[in-house]
Structure 1
Amino acid sequence: MPDSKYERLPHAGDFEKESGTEVVYLSPKPVPTGMPAVSSRQLHRNTNETFLDFAVGQGNFEFMARIGIGAIMFIVTLLFFFSAFASYLRRNAEPFLSGWLSFFFNPVLWFIIGAIALTYIYFFHQAARQVSAHPPVRFNRQRREVVFVPQKGHKPRYVPWEDVIACVSVGKLITQYAVMPEYKLMIGLRDAGTGNVLWSVIPSSNLSLAVSEWEAIRAYMEEGMSALPPDQSDELEEGSVEFFHLCRRSYRADHSFLRYTWGFLTIQFFSGWTIPCYISGWVNRRPKAGFPKEVLEWSRPLPTEQHALPSEALLEESAEIRKAFAKGQNLLDYFKVKFSEPANEPTVDAS
């Protein structure tokens, strides 16, 4: 997260760029984005007319597990070929096969590999533990508030809905295979007492999906459950075994057999194939931490006359933005005109 260039808290329309990462803020105030409300988190499964629960999805843990398995397999493969090459060079001093096996199965080398694997497993377990140890972030549309519990046993923190910080970022992800574009939705909940911000970072496959994920939350808070994408029985969740095979078939249909073999089969085989999917499924099936009694009381439905209403400032700006959409502008076009700051104009395209 780049340091803010503004001497104030951010608001919708702010733009930052640092170290190759571009960030566009969508809230506060949470104005319409013009994008469809689409959620890879399948928000309709954890939602009712009073509140929406938002938590880390299955795809995050599938990716983490695949990176860990791939890194260890890369080290083992490198050791395999390096030991073979070294034994070949020393074939006149000792038999090739016995030299290769003694080098490859060197206890010291495998101790180092094991230590690396255990370290990654430890950090993966700590990340997975957060899912069961901490309740999800809960958005209450009747109160127009958001609650989060920083740590188990800590006092819940409540944030006004219109003060929630949301932004999308575009950067680069450097892996052992390639340099790829990286898109994220980041949701920040600021504790008014301490000024600390709790960030939820949601990776996305492209910028439009990152904005649409936020739009699904915003639309629910402003319009209700009818604004969320419908529940579909055949919907596949990112990170599942079914989703993996769907991606495999799509990759095969769009690329040559040679590229499919080396660009998908080889990479996915050495990163665990469907094992990360089963690991992520196990993580998400673990019992989740419950909310404290205080939050459960806060989550009870309210009489209609007690429902909180949007601020006049939000209503006015939302109406202005919808007029801009009707004229064919997108959200970034609207902000460019409104703020008239050519030096700060975003270059990312959220249309």
Structure 2
Amino acid sequence: MADYRIALPAGLLIGIPGWLGLTALSYISLRQDVRARRRQCPVRFHRQRREVCFIDSHSGKAVIVPWESVTAWVATSSGATEYGAMTHHNLGIAVEDPETGDLYTLAIGGPTAAIAAGLWEAIRQYMEHGPTALAGLRRSETAATPDPRELLPYDGVHTFELRRERLHREYRDGERGPVFVFFWYVWHLVTLWKVPFMISEWEYRQGRAPLPQAMRAWSQPLPREQWAEPSALLLCVRKHLAELERRNPRGDFAAHYRQARAAAEQELSARPERSATEG
């Protein structure tokens, strides 16, 4: 959808032939993307089970690991091309098969290191606090329950409708002026109104590999009483991390985390000894 929305106004500036050429290139790129996604089974995160499921592309085996055992990192690489120096940023995610020790990895590109890290933070917020914790869900932040359209896992026509409703609400509240509203409508009229969102919705529905039976069964929701709880270590790290950030809100997060982790491990290791002494 992003390629299409760039190609359309750019093509209009260089005439109908340019528009047709850029639109054709965007369509070819979209088709290649869809075909590639059809061959790759997605990684799934189950917050009720607190587990992650990878599918081995060779054997089709479902590899299920605890959420807290997942490793993530952001990698930055640079290289020279005929067009100049290029820098790439990727979010890496890895899990280890507990039965065989095989390592499975996934790389997700981002335009900047901060955005790549933000992708992981979005996953973490979802797994730890639920879908309503994501910063983009502002439509029903004052409501008891979020708008169901906000929880859909793809952009589509509903995304356009939500944005227009938000625009009207912000205009009524005085957060947006008439000039901003005017150009919002001009931009969407130039880019054929809802067509890009229809393309995005079609891309999502067409570009997904069928889920194996094991993953479909694992993905089913659980009764509330069967939901997994965070480990004692994670809860203890959270407590110490919150205290460190309260004392020094501008401190380095990585340093805070290392201190919180060490303090949590020390506290947990001392608990059995204290219990035995008290007993």
**Range into which the TM-score falls when normalised by the shorter chain:** 0.5 to 0.7
In structure 2, the residue matched to 1:227 is 133
Q: Does 1:322 align with 2:242?
A: yes
Q: How does 1:213-292 map onto structure 2 within 5 Å?
A: 213-228=119-134, 229-230=136-137, 231=150, 233-234=159-160, 286-292=206-212
What residue identity is the alignment partner of 1:330? Answer: D
Question: Counterparts of 1:182 and 1:294 in 2: how far apart (Å)?
Answer: 35
Structure 1 residue corresponding to 2:101, chosen from 176, 187, 195 = 195
- How many residue pairs get matched? 179
Deviations 1:291-331 (A, max 9, x none): 12222222221111111111000111122222222221231
Query: What CA RMSD, in Å, does the superposition of the two structures yield over aligned residues?
Result: 3.4
Question: Counterparts of 2:60 and 2:221 in 1: how far apart (Å)?
Answer: 24
Q: Does 1:204 align with 2:110?
A: yes
Larger RCO (CA within 8 A; separation ≥ 6): 1
Question: Counterparts of 1:144 and 1:339 in 2: how far apart (Å)?
Answer: 20
Q: Can you give the 5+ residue segments of structure 1 that lack an aligned partner in the other structure?
A: 1-57, 63-120, 237-278, 341-351
Question: Counterparts of 1:145 and 1:172 in 2: how far apart (Å)?
Answer: 34
SS in 2 for 1:142: coil
SS in 2 for 1:195: coil
Q: CA 1:281 to 1:334, structure 2 compared with 1: closer, same or farther past 3 Å?
A: same
Q: Which runs of 4+ in 1 moved over 6 A?
A: 279-283
In structure 2, the residue matched to 1:52 is none
Q: CA 1:147 to 1:334, structure 2 compared with 1: closer, same or farther past 3 Å?
A: same
SS in 1 for 2:76: strand
Deviations 1:62-101 (A, max 9, x none): 7xxxxxxxxxxxxxxxxxxxxxxxxxxxxxxxxxxxxxxx
More helix per residue: 2
TM-fit CA distance, 1:283: 6.7
TM-score by length of 1: 0.44
In structure 2, the residue matched to 1:263 is none
Question: Counterparts of 2:56 and 2:228 in 1: how far apart (Å)?
Answer: 25
Structure 2 residue corresponding to 1:308, chosen from 222, 225, 228 = 228
Q: CA 1:223 to 1:337, structure 2 compared with 1: closer, same or farther past 3 Å?
A: closer
In structure 1, the residue matched to 2:56 is 150
TM-score by length of 2: 0.54
Question: Counterparts of 2:45 and 2:230 in 1: how far apart (Å)?
Answer: 15
Question: Counterparts of 1:148 and 1:180 in 2: how far apart (Å)?
Answer: 31
Query: Does the Cα contact within 8 Å between 2:76 and 2:113 map onto a contact in 1?
Result: yes
SS in 1 for 2:159: coil
Structure 1 residue corresponding to 2:45, chosen from 139, 144, 153 = 139
Q: Can you give the 5+ residue segments of structure 2 that lack an aligned partner in the other structure?
A: 4-27, 138-149, 151-157, 164-198, 263-279
Q: How does 1:83-98 map onto structure 2 within 5 Å?
A: none
